[in-house]
Amino acid sequence: MPPLVITAAVNGAELSREQCSVLPITPEEIAEEARRAREAGASVVHVHGRLADGTPTQDRETYRRILEAIRARTDVLIQFSTGGAVGMSGSERIEALDLQPDIATLTLGSVNFGDEIFTNPSPLVLDFVERFNQLGVPAEFEIFDAGMLGMARFLIARELIRVPFYFDFVLGVAGGMEASLKNLLFLKESLPLEKPWSVAGIGRHQLPLATAAIIEGGHVRVGLEDNIYYRKGELATGNAQLVERVVRLARELGRDLADPSEARQILAIDPTTE
């Protein structure tokens, strides 16, 4: 099995300081959290922009500051969100992509998201794909439900996606695909191409699905965006604590850990390789 790529989803768009006192908000806080996650064993960080008061933003200048602050501190691969927060427009969500992050997320369809809808109709997905192609930014396809693999199959069959890509299954969002082992294996076996995949289990599903991914040859996303608890009733002290636990599990289960340059190879996201 390839060395394990751990992605730390350090802040998300929906979480507040009231819910999680250690949530990083400013570019400096996000970068410090990225450095700690890297030191703990993560090779990729998934970041969302926030204004100083915590409001989610996809503002280009905010992402530029995040990118620079992280790159000044650590070699971790930087993955921008193009999902942003529910209710944001497509143009708003994609405006920072030309900053050339190492990777950016690309969700392949709409999904109920708690009481709201994370809106990704096909025309918007195709617009995003075109923008990724123009800029040559590698994509992490975010799969919240099985139907989104149909869109991946379509993009591949029509040769519409011309940048490197791999898959991330986000399981356990209220309204999305449930976070069961059966669903994870079904998605893995339904991939349209042999590509790397990772899993992000939401809330209490983070740990069991991370363990399953380690065993099944996948990769793991953990972090406060998806889960603020270390265990039932005990808040996590930060992203690094969640990463450290996956590192321990990987060691016990015989998976080596990827550093950022290995992660680039394993995920095949070197823009020059495709």
Residues 6, 219: Cα–Cα separation, whole Å: 6
* Residue 47 C-beta: closest distance to ligand KMH, Å: 9
Size of the site for ligand KMH (CB under 6 A): 13
Q: Which residues contact 165 (CB under 8 A, 6 or more apart)?
A: 106, 138, 139, 140, 141, 195
Residue with the CB atom nearest Zn ion in the bound state: 81
Binding at 141: pick from ligand KMH, Zn ion, none (beta carbon under 5-8 Å per type)? none
Q: Does 20 contact ligand KMH by CB under 6 A? A: no
Q: Does 239 contact Zn ion by CB under 5 A? A: no
Residues 211, 12: Cα–Cα separation, whole Å: 22
22, 86, 146, 181: which one contacts ligand KMH (CB under 6 A)? 86
Q: Which residues contact 181 (CB under 8 A, 6 or more apart)?
A: 208, 209, 212
Q: Does 175 contact ligand KMH by CB under 6 A? A: no
User: In degrees, to the nearest 5, what angle opens at C-alpha 12 toward C-alphas 54 and 18?
Assistant: 50
Residues 37, 34: Cα–Cα separation, whole Å: 5
Asked if 95 and 85 touch (Cβ cutoff 8 Å), the reply is no
SS3 assignment, position 36: helix
State the amino acid at position 226 in one-letter form: D
Asked if 108 and 132 touch (Cβ cutoff 8 Å), the reply is no
Q: Does 13 contact ligand KMH by CB under 6 A? A: yes
Q: Which stretch binds ligand KMH (CB under 6 A): 60-68, 76-84, 189-197, 208-216?
A: 76-84
Q: Does 81 contact Zn ion by CB under 5 A? A: yes
* Residue 139 C-beta: closest distance to Zn ion, Å: 14
Q: Which stretch binds ligand KMH (CB under 6 A): 12-20, 23-31, 215-223, 247-255?
A: 12-20
* Residue 150 C-beta: closest distance to ligand KMH, Å: 19
Q: Does 81 contact ligand KMH by CB under 6 A? A: yes
Residues binding Zn ion (CB under 5 A): 81
Residues that bind ligand KMH (CB under 6 A): 12-14, 81-83, 85-86, 105, 107, 113, 118, 142
